[in-house]
Amino acid sequence: MKEKKFNKFSILFLLVFHAACRQEAPQQSLDQLLQTYDRQFQEYLATAQQEMGKEILKYSSIVDGVAIPKRMEISGSHYDYGNLVGRIARLYGRNPRRVEGQRREFNDRIIDMYRRVYPSYLELARGFGDVFAIPLEELDFVHLEYEFFVDLWYRLFKYDEFRAAAGLSASATASDETHCSLVFAKIGKDVFVGRNFDDDHEKPQFVEISSMDSGYKVLANACYAPFHWIMDGVNEKGLVMGTANLVQPDKYYWTDDYPDVPAICEHHLFRIALETCATVDEVIALYRSVRPWSHATDHLLVADALGNSAVIEFNLNREAVFFPADKDYQIMTNIAYQEGLDYMLRHCSRFALATSMAIDGIHAFADVERITRAICGSDHGYTSFFDLRGRFMQLYRRSNFHTAYDFTLPR
């Protein structure tokens, strides 16, 4: 999964800004960052929840001595969570935008879209806006959808500092450096998904368990924007979703700004799907009912506890296209299903290897694990395995591939 980028003007600003910051403060080592990267967040979280008089987000280590990932347990209403995030943003000195006059009609159309497909987000936004005394209708939803939430968490959890500690430029592309992949398999009545989140350096990541007052419970891995962006996860109905770069062929690799119609960022759409959908068919219907938007091109695999699976991509017209599994397994790496099976086998060695291993036979979970690990593409990141019928996730960090962290979604 590659680093998320802003548009070219934002990149120029961030490069200048962060270069200036680094002149004022010595570059931290990775060990120093691991000890301190979330200290400021924890201080703001404690203050915000004290102000609210209740705990909305419980933040903890997954096990003593492990700095990444951290565990987030989120409960209560979407309004409460939005209000909590607003208080954290205010403490950090980040303010949302009010929508400008000429954009009000477009903003109203975005609100109408969310009212139709995911009204819980409007409650989150209402709680967020109340912190700043900005009514829901005056919040700039284009700004919130990507730029505000991503920038807030990206800065607060020091993602650029982690890149610097790894010796990576803030403007370096990750399209050839990371190679996420997913393996779906139906074995009798059991359904499993293996997932490699391959990365080019260590960075903050989170295991989130959300039990909100509306929507399905969700167990997920998140990065860049906690809660708002999901990289992979399972819900209480046994629906699993996971994303990966789509960089081959390069005609499918683009970075788009928010389109001129109401749209939902792909990773935000993961949150919506996992809270509102129970089956692959319901996810496909959701993607057909809205304009999915990918700021930096990814595709996804979705599977359900009934044993269905599909890959979802965007075509060159930025329309969602769907590729249901025609076997009891499905493989997704970083190459486009839109190009056809022969092309994928010829041009992606990891896809070809996984397909060959699957053809040889997937008879048990151990085979899913073996195939998933065989196409792992990086020394950084994590590998997760999902049991869809058990609503269970087993997580391995690349820095310690011998230790499993087990999570079960409460029923």
CA-CA distance, 397 to 356, in Å (whole number)? Answer: 26
- Integer-rounded Cα Rg, in Å, for the chain is 20
pLDDT confidence of residue 169: 66
pLDDT reported for residue 303: 98
Tokens of 22: 């680094």
Domain segments of the chain as ranges: 8-61+74-165, 181-408
Please provide the DSSP assignment of 343-400 as one string: HHHHH-HHHHHHHHHHHH---SHHHHHHHHHHT---SEEEEEEEETTTTEEEEEETTE
pLDDT of residue 62: 93
94 in the Ramachandran plot: left (φ > 0), alpha (ψ -120 to 50) or beta?
A: beta
The predicted pLDDT at position 11 comes to 34
Question: For tokens 């960052």, what's the residue?
Answer: 33
Distance CA 298, CA 383 (A): 18
Q: So what's the pLDDT on residue 173?
A: 53
Would you give the distance in Å from CA 293 to the centre of its chain? 14
Rounded CA-CA distance 201/172 in Å is: 12
Q: Which residues of the chain register pLDDT less than 70?
A: 1-27, 169-178
Question: What pLDDT is stored for residue 410 in this prediction?
Answer: 82
* Contact present, 229 and 288 (Cβ < 8 Å): no
| d(C-alpha 31, C-alpha 358), whole Å | 40
Mean of pLDDT over the chain = 90
Pick the CATH number of 181-408 from 1.25.40.90, 3.30.465.10, 3.60.60.10, 3.40.50.720: 3.60.60.10
